[in-house]
Structure formats: C-alpha cells, structure tokens
A and B are shown apart, each in its own frame.
Chain A
C-alpha cells in the first residue's frame, strides 16, 4: 500500500505516474473513485450544446460581405488614384504646352480642344465606372 498525495493521485489518473491500482491505500482508492466521477463529468458530451442552427451559413454570409467590402475598398482606392492621375496629367499637359486656360476657349485650336474633350471624357468614364459599381450593388 502506497500513500499518495492528492497531486500524485491526479498524475496517476492522468497516466503520468506508473502505479498499479492495487498499490493504492484505502483513502487513495476512495479519492480515486471521486476523481473518476469528476473526470467522467468533464468529458461528458451531454452538457455540450453545439452550434446554433445555420451558424456556418451566417458565418459564410459575413465572410462574403467582408470580401466584398475589401473589394470595394480596393476599387475606391483605384478610382481615387485614377482621378488624381487624370488631374495630374491635365495639369502636366497645361504646363507642358503652356496652355492658358482662359484663352483655351477663345483660341479654340484643334489640339487644345481635343485635349480638353479627352480629359472631360476620361473624368466621365471614371464617374460612370464608379456609378455602375454602386448601381450593380
């Protein structure tokens, strides 16, 4: 008969202590019986409520929405970058060709008119693209 401390008894029940059950004294046997009940209860499935009905579908919907939000953010950044680029290009053209905006309509040279219309169309296209995404959504 071997008197075991409570800690040793738990280690034995966890399989971390090599000892035969017959080697336990009466007290340890009594405690082991109590621990057996506790261990059984801790493993019991009956008290474990699983996920709620349709939970995975809800998660998938959220994940889908999150993915869409991420895509939208990317699109928004892309459109913003596009608009900034167009503005900068226009500024560069005005600077490079030394265009006077006030005289643009007065002079009405074909080149200047073409650039103005091209710029306007590009802005419109960007707005339409963004609009189409919102409408589709």
Chain B
C-alpha cells in the first residue's frame, strides 16, 4: 500500500490503517526521540505517543511534497527539541579539546575493538543536538540533505557543515583513542 492510499484510508476513518502507519514509523520516531532527549529518559514513550497523536490530528494537512517519513520525522524532531528546551536538556558538548577517557583495560584485541565501538557510540551521544540530529538522519535514516532540510528546517549548507564538523570531531576522538590504546598495548607487551 502506498503512503497516499494509507493516508486516504486513515482520513476516511480507518483506524486499522493508522495502526499500520504507527508500526511502519515507530522505529524512526523512537530512534530520533531517544537520540535527542537521551536514552535513559523516562518520557521517551510519552513523547513518541505525542508525536503520533500530532500525526493523527494533522494528517489532513500533509501535502505530498515530502515523503511521509520525512514529515513524521520533522514532527518527532520538533517535539523532541521542544521537550529539550522546556526541560533544559543540553547534551554534554564534545569539543576538540575533550580528553579521551575510559581507555580499555583489557589487552585483548577483540575487546579493544568492542570497546572502540562503545567508545564511538559514547562520543556520538555526547555530540551537540544539532550535530547528532544531522548524523542520525543522514547516516541511519539515510535521508538526503534536502530531506533533512525539510525535517529540521535548517538550510542545506548548514546541515552539510554540521555533518562535516561532527564527523571530524569523531575522527579526531577516535584517532586519539587509538593512539592511547596502542601505547597501552605496547606497555603491556614490554
């Protein structure tokens, strides 16, 4: 069933079709909201519910200029951003000077690799909201820059700059992490 058919059915009062829409997009909404307000936040589910209620209320105003997922993503984004502003949530900002911490104590390469992944995830979570949003939409949701522009309302050039800066920060952090780990590994061998 195409998005248009689905919307038509929902607007005709078919609640079952809305259930299909929720199931199709719940992963996107949960992922976005969790990344923006924080994984451990207890309000995540309520916020996601609020997003879908807004979708239901405003579905008649949806124009097929954008993909349905982009439109739902933009509602999730605005709802999460509003929540962050209202609750003063500010993610710890990762900067070029943030020290690398928590290097792996285990000498095992496999464990080092595993921790490298966790380390990277930690750094991604610590990025400023704007950077994190761009990375999430571009890489995980595979949205184009134009779609991200429609979702967030930020200009395409700004999004591109956020993406570059965020990835550069992550690269520098990862490089530092690897250097520390290599140094530790060499010390253990000696």
Contacts and interface: CB of A to CB of B under 8 A. Distances in A.
Interface of A: 6-7, 10, 31, 34-35, 37-39, 41-44, 47-52, 55-56, 58-60, 62-64, 66-67
Interface string B18-29: 110011001101
Interface string B157-188: 00000011001101100110010000000000
- Residues of A contacting B: mostly: helix
Interface of B: 15, 18-19, 22-23, 26-27, 29-31, 34, 39, 45, 48-49, 52-53, 56-57, 116-117, 120-121, 124, 135-136, 139-140, 163-164, 167-168, 170-171, 174-175, 178
Contacts of B135: 42
Given A34-B174, A60-B18, A63-B15, A43 B30 contact: no
Nearest to B168: A6
- Residues of B contacting A: mostly: helix
Contact of A52 (B45, B136, B140): B45
A51 B116 CA distance: 27
A11 to B, nearest CB: 9
A8 B56 CA distance: 42
B18 A35 contact: no
A44 B135 CA distance: 12
Given A10-B167, A37-B116, A60-B18, A66 B56 contact: yes
A56 B23 contact: yes
B18 A63 contact: yes
Contact of A47 (B48, B121, B139): B121
Given A37-B120, A55-B48, A62-B53, 15 more contacts: A6-B171, A31-B171, A34-B178, A37-B174, A41-B117, A44-B117, A49-B30, A49-B39, A51-B29, A55-B22, A58-B49, A59-B52, A63-B18, A63-B56, A66-B56
Given A6-B168, A48-B140, A56 B56 contact: no
A7 B164 contact: yes
A43 B142 CA distance: 9
Nearest to B136: A42
Contacts of A60: 15, 18-19, 22
A66 B140 CA distance: 33
Contact of B30 (A37, A42, A51): A51
A116 B171 CA distance: 86
Contacts of B136: 42
Nearest to A42: B139
Nearest to A37: B174
